[in-house]
Structure 1
Amino acid sequence: MADLSSLKDLAPAQTEAAPVHVRKVDSLGRSYATGKRKNAVARVWVKAGSGKIIINGKDFSAYFARPVLQMILQQPILAAARTGQFDIIATVAGGGLSGQAGAVRHGISKALTYFEPGLRSVLKKGGFLTRDSRVVERKKYGKAKARRSFQFSKR
Structure 2
Amino acid sequence: MCAPLTPYYGTGRRKKAVARVFLYEGTGKITINHRKATEYFTNIQHAQTIQHPFLITSTSQLFDAYITVKGGGIAGQAGAIRHGISRALLKYDLEYRTILKAEGFLTRDSRMKERKKPGMKGARKSPQFSKR
Q: Deviations over 1:55-76 (max 9, x none)?
A: 0000011001101100110111
- What is the aligned residue count? 129
Q: Tell me the amino acid that sits aligned with residue 5 of structure 2.
A: L
CA displacement 1:108-133 (0-9 Å, x = unmatched): 00000111221111111111000001
Whole-Å Cα distance in 2 between the matches of residues 92 and 31 of structure 1?
16
CA distance in 2, matches of 1:50, 1:71: 18
Percent identity reads 50
Give 2:30's match in structure 1, choosing from 53, 58, 68: 53
Q: Secondary structure at the match of 1:125?
A: helix
* CA RMSD of superposed structures (Å): 1.1
One-letter amino acid of the structure 2 residue matched with residue 50 of structure 1: T
Letter in 2 for 1:140: K
Moved over 2 A (4+): none
1:113 partnered with 2:83: no
Gap runs ≥5 in structure 2: none
Shift, 1:29, TM fit: 2.2
1:70 to 36, 47, 52: 47
Matched, 1:149 2:129: no
Amino acid at match of 1:88: A
Write the mapping of 1:122-137 to structure 2, written as runs, cut at 5 A. Answer: 122-137=99-114
Q: Is 2:117 the counterpart of 1:140? A: yes
Q: TM-score, normalized by length of structure 2?
A: 0.93
Question: Larger Rg: 1 or 2?
Answer: 1
Gaps in structure 1 of 5+ consecutive residues: 1-26
